[in-house]
Homo-oligomer: A and B are copies of this chain.
Amino acid sequence: METVSTNHAFGGVQGVYRHASAATGTAMTFAVYVPPHAPGAKLPVVWYLSGLTCTHANATEKGEYRRAAAELGLIVVTPDTSPRGEGVPDDPDGAYDFGLGAGFYVDATEAPWATHYRMWSYITDELPALVAAHFPVDIARQSITGHSMGGHGALTIGLSFPDRYRAVSAFAPIVAPSQVPWGEKALGGYLGADRAAWRRHDAVALIEDGARVPALLVDQGEADQFLAGQLRPELLAAACEKAGIPLTLRMQSGYDHSYYFISTFMADHLAWHAKRLK
Q: Total interface residues on A, using CB and 8 Å?
A: 24
Is A272 interfacial (CB-CB < 8 Å)?
no
CB–CB A66/B263 < 8 A: yes
Q: Which among B64, B221, B254, B258 is the interface contact of A64 at CB below 8 angstroms?
A: B64
> What's the least CB distance linking A148 to chain B, in Å?
15
CB–CB B61/A8 < 8 A: no
> What's the least CB distance linking A51 to chain B, in Å?
16
Is A10 interfacial (CB-CB < 8 Å)?
yes
Considering the chains assembled together, what is the distance between the CA atoms of A11 and B265 in angstroms?
Answer: 10
Copy count, this protein chain: 2
List chain B residues, Cβ under 8 A from A254: 8
* Chain A, 220-278, CB within 8 A of any chain B CB: 221, 223, 252, 254-256, 258-261, 263-264, 267
Chain A contact residues, majority secondary structure: mixed
CB–CB A260/B221 < 8 A: no
List chain B residues, Cβ under 8 A from A252: 8
CB–CB B67/A64 < 8 A: yes
List chain B residues, Cβ under 8 A from A221: 8
Considering the chains assembled together, what is the distance between the CA atoms of A252 and B8 in angstroms?
Answer: 10
Considering the chains assembled together, what is the distance between the CA atoms of A191 and B9 in angstroms?
Answer: 37
Q: Which among B8, B67, B255, B258 is the interface contact of A261 at CB below 8 angstroms?
A: B8
Considering the chains assembled together, what is the distance between the CA atoms of A264 and B254 in angstroms?
Answer: 28
Considering the chains assembled together, what is the distance between the CA atoms of A82 and B241 in angstroms?
Answer: 55
Is A14 interfacial (CB-CB < 8 Å)?
yes
Is A19 interfacial (CB-CB < 8 Å)?
no
User: Which residues of A are interface residues toward B (Cβ below 8 A)?
Assistant: 7-11, 14, 61-62, 64, 66-67, 221, 223, 252, 254-256, 258-261, 263-264, 267
